[in-house]
C-alpha cells in the first residue's frame, strides 16, 4: 500500500511539474543583422503570455517586446524580432512567461558596419548536416543510427559568426511521413534535445532542408504534405526568407565579404527516377531546383559583389562518380548553371553540400576558366559509412573523411584582394580531421 502511495505521489508531482508554464526548447538565435535580431523559443501549452526583455550589455536600461501571436496550442514555436539596435553592440536578453522572468536567456552581438570604412573582417562560420537523435520506439530495429551527440557541446564553445545547417536537421520516421501531427512532433521533439540547448543560443542559426526534414527519404515535389512541411519549417527556423510566391524555402545571407545562397533541393525536385536524357539530349523536364529558383539564383549571383559566393545545397553538385543523387543527375539544369557561371564570368563560386554521411572536397576542372569545388560536410550524428565502389579512389577527391562524425569551420582571412578561405574538418571532440584552403585569386576567371 505504501509503495502504491509513493508511486501515486510521484505521478502527481510529475504531472504538476509538467503542467507548469515552461520553455520546451531554446532560446535560439536567428539572424542577427546591423539593426535587428530574431530570437526563437518554444513554450508549453500552459503559457498565456511571452515577453522578451533586452538591454545593452553593461547598462541597466531595458526594453520589452511582447509576443502578440496565438498561444495555448500543442506546439508553440514563436519568434521575436528586436529592432532599432546599434551596430557592433552586444545585447543581453531574458524570456518572461506569464509575467515572470524565466531562467532562460542569452546575449548576441550585432554585425559591424565595415563596408566603405574598414578592411573585410576576418570571421568564421560552422556547418554540417545529418543530425539523427535516437528514439527507440520509432527507430528501426538494430544498432542505433544516431551517434555521439556531444559534438554539439563542442560546437557551442566555438567563437564563430553563425551556424549553417546543410539539411537533415531532424529525421522523420515512418510514423511521421503522412501524419501532419507527426511532422510537428518530430520538429518539436528534436529541437528540445537537451544537448542542443546551449548550441542554439551560442550563435545565429540558419538552415536549408533535405529529404529527411522535408519528408520521406528521397522524396521531391510530389510529397502530399509539402505545404505542412514548409509551414513547420518556417515556424522552427528563423531564416531571412522562405522562397518566393509561397514556393520553396530558398534564401540567402551575407556576412563579411561572403554571400551564401541557401537553395532548396526538394520543393521543386523531379523524381530521381525520371530519365536524365531523352533521345540523347538532357531531359528538360527533370529538374532539382526548378525554374523559379534557378532564375532567383542566377539574378542573385549577378547582383552579388562578394569575394566568395557559396552555393549551399542538400545534394552534392559536382561529384562525377557518385552513384547517388546529385545535381549532375539532372543534366539539363546542371548544364544550364555551368554555362551561366562561365558565360557571365561569375567569380568566387564554391559549392557547399551535405547528405552523404561522409565528408570530402571534390574538384572539377573547367576549360578556359577556374576549377569548381564541392565541399561536403556530413554527418553530425547520423550513421557513417566507408568510401567504396567507384568512390573508393575517387580521382576528383582532393580531401576525404569517412567513418567519422564531423562538422566544418569555414574561416575567411587576409587583406583586401588577397582573401583566403580555409576549411577545417573537426571531429566529435573538436579534434582536427583535415584542412583545405583556397585563395580568391584561384576562384577568378583568367
Q: Which residue has the cell 557513417?
A: 384
For 441, the grid coordinates are 585569386
Q: For 384-440, how does the pLDDT look when each residue is reduced to its tens digit (9 = 90+)?
A: 999 999 999 999 999 999 999 999 999 999 999 999 999 999 999 999 999 999 999
What's the pLDDT at 4?
Answer: 46
Helices (H) and strands (E) in the chain, counts: 8, 22
What per-residue confidence (pLDDT) applies to 18?
56
- Mean pLDDT, to the nearest integer, of 143-161? 98
Decide: residue 138, CB within 10 A, 0-12 exposed, 13-18 middle, 19+ buried. Answer: middle
Question: Is residue 66 domain-shared with residue 10, that is, in the same domain?
Answer: yes
Q: What pLDDT is recorded for position 5?
A: 45
pLDDT digits (tens, 9 = 90+) for 316-346: 999 999 999 899 999 999 999 999 999 999 9
Residue 278 CB partners (closer than 8 Å, separation 6+)? none
The DSSP symbol for 444 reads S
For residue 140, the domain's CATH number is 3.60.21.70
CATH number at residue 79: 2.60.40.10
pLDDT tens string 64-89: 999 999 999 999 999 999 999 999 99
Question: Rounded CA gap, 205 and 106, in Å?
Answer: 14
Residues 234 and 369 in one domain: yes
The pLDDT, as a whole number, for residue 1 is 47
Per residue in 97-106, pLDDT tens?
999 999 999 9
Q: DSSP readout, 287-345?
A: -SSHHHHHHHHHHHHHH---SEEEEEESSBSS-TT-SS-BGGGSHHHHHHHHHHHHHTT
- Residues 175-217 have pLDDT tens digits of 999 999 999 999 999 999 999 999 999 999 999 999 999 999 9
Alpha-carbon dihedral of residues 284, 289, 291, 292, nearest 10 degrees? 170
Percent of the chain with pLDDT over 70: 96
Q: Does residue 195 fall inside a structural domain?
A: yes
Asked, for residue 114, whether it belongs to a domain, the answer is: no
What mean pLDDT value characterizes the chain? 95
Q: 115 lies in a domain?
A: no
Q: In terms of domains, do 99 and 138 share one?
A: no
- Domain count within the chain: 2
Per-residue pLDDT tens digits for 110-132: 999 999 999 999 999 999 999 99
56 and 195 fall within a common domain:
no
Task: Identify the band that residue 17 occupies on the pLDDT scale cut at 50, 70 and 90.
Answer: low
Amino acid at each position: 500500500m505504501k509503495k502504491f502511495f509513493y508511486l501515486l505521489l510521484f505521478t502527481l508531482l510529475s504531472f504538476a511539474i509538467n503542467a507548469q508554464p515552461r520553455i520546451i526548447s531554446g532560446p535560439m538565435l536567428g539572424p542577427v543583422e546591423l539593426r535587428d535580431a530574431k530570437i526563437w523559443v518554444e513554450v508549453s501549452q500552459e503559457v498565456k503570455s511571452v515577453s522578451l526583455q533586452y538591454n545593452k550589455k553593461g547598462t541597466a536600461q531595458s526594453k520589452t517586446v511582447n509576443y502578440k501571436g496565438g498561444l495555448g496550442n500543442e506546439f508553440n514555436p514563436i519568434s521575436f524580432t528586436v529592432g532599432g539596435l546599434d551596430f557592433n553592440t552586444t545585447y543581453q536578453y531574458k524570456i518572461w512567461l506569464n509575467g515572470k522572468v524565466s531562467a532562460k536567456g542569452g546575449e548576441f552581438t550585432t554585425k559591424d558596419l565595415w563596408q566603405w570604412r574598414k578592411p573585410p573582417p576576418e570571421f568564421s562560420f560552422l556547418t554540417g548536416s545529418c543530425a539523427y537523435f535516437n528514439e527507440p520506439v520509432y527507430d528501426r530495429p538494430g544498432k542505433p543510427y544516431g551517434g555521439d551527440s556531444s559534438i554539439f557541446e563542442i560546437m557551442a564553445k566555438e567563437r564563430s559568426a553563425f551556424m549553417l545547417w546543410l539539411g537533415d536537421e531532424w529525421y522523420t520516421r515512418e510514423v511521421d511521413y503522412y501524419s501532419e501531427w507527426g511532422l510537428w512532433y518530430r520538429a518539436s521533439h528534436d529541437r528540445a534535445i537537451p544537448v542542443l540547448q546551449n548550441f542554439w543560443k551560442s550563435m545565429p542559426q540558419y538552415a536549408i532542408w533535405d529529404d529527411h526534414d522535408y519528408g520521406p527519404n528521397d522524396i521531391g515535389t510530389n510529397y502530399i504534405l509539402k505545404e505542412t512541411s514548409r509551414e513547420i519549417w518556417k515556424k522552427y527556423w528563423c531564416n531571412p526568407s522562405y522562397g518566393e510566391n509561397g514556393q520553396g524555402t530558398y534564401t540567402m545571407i551575407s556576412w563579411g565579404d561572403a554571400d551564401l545562397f541557401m537553395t532548396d533541393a526538394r520543393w521543386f525536385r523531379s523524381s530521381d527516377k525520371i530519365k536524365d536524357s531523352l533521345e540523347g539530349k538532357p531531359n528538360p523536364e527533370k529538374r532539382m531546383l526548378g525554374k523559379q529558383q534557378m532564375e532567383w539564383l542566377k539574378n542573385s549571383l549577378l547582383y552579388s559583389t562578394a569575394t566568395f559566393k557559396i552555393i549551399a545545397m542538400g545534394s552534392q553538385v559536382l561529384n562525377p562518380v557518385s552513384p547517388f543523387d546529385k545535381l549532375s543527375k539532372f543534366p539539363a539544369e546542371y548544364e544550364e548553371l555551368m554555362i551561366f557561371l562561365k558565360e557571365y564570368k561569375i567569380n568566387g563560386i564554391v559549392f557547399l553540400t551535405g547528405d552523404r554521411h561522409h565528408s570530402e572536397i571534390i574538384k572539377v576542372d573547367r576549360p578556359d576558366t577556374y576549377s569548381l569545388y564541392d565541399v561536403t560536410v556530413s554527418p553530425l550524428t547520423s550513421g557513417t559509412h566507408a568510401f567504396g565502389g567507384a568512390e573508393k579512389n575517387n580521382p576528383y577527391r582532393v580531401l576525404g573523411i569517412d567513418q567519422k562524425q564531423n562538422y566544418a569551420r569555414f574561416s575567411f582571412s587576409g587583406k583586401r584582394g588577397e582573401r583566403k578561405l580555409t576549411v577545417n574538418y573537426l571531429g566529435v571532440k573538436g579534434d582536427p580531421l583535415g584542412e583545405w584552403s583556397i585563395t580568391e585569386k584561384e576562384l577568378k576567371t583568367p
